[in-house]
Amino acid sequence: MGLLDSVLGAIGGGQQQANDPKALLIQAAIGMLTKQGGAGAAGGLGGLLSAFEGAGLGQLAQSWIGNGQNQAISPDQVQQALGSGPLQELAQAAGISPADAASHLSEILPGLVDKLTPHGEATAAPGGLDLGGLLGGLLGGNKQA
């Protein structure tokens, strides 16, 4: 079982197949969320949260970070927050339409952001996001102190 298979299993994606659009979308979304710099959703997790705040959906996105219940998001809200550029890039990476990408992301993002922020914080370490730590969080691993 590969690393992406484990990630998909951890966030409810089941078994990944080489050409599974949802798996490819998750992979692209993880790439987007772990990028540093740039503006909007391309600016990593902080950029994604800023995009949601700018679209008036900040409280919804904050629910995914905190320890409480994750609020659901609609495909239209995903489109509203991400905008057509980032959504088109993610859709293209997965080989699906932007509408399908928005639909899948509405299912994926709450759990993905929740898993990427296991301690209820969306702040990066001083050296940037630790991809190994993020994937460990996705896979349910615990960091040692």
**In the structure encoding, which two tokens stand for residue 122, read together?**
């969306």
Q: 56's torsion region: left (phi>0), alpha (psi -120 to 50) or beta?
A: left
Q: pLDDT tens-digit profile of 101-142?
A: 999 999 999 988 888 787 776 654 434 444 444 444 444 443
**C-alpha span between 92 and 100 (Å, rounded):** 11
Sorted by where each starts, the structural domains of the chain and their CATH numbers stand as 3-123 (1.10.10.690)
**Whole-Å CA distances, 13 to 6, 9, 22, 116, 134:** 9, 5, 8, 16, 17
Q: pLDDT tens-digit profile of 2-57?
A: 434 545 554 454 444 556 888 889 888 888 877 754 444 456 888 888 999 999 99
Q: What's the pTM?
A: 0.70
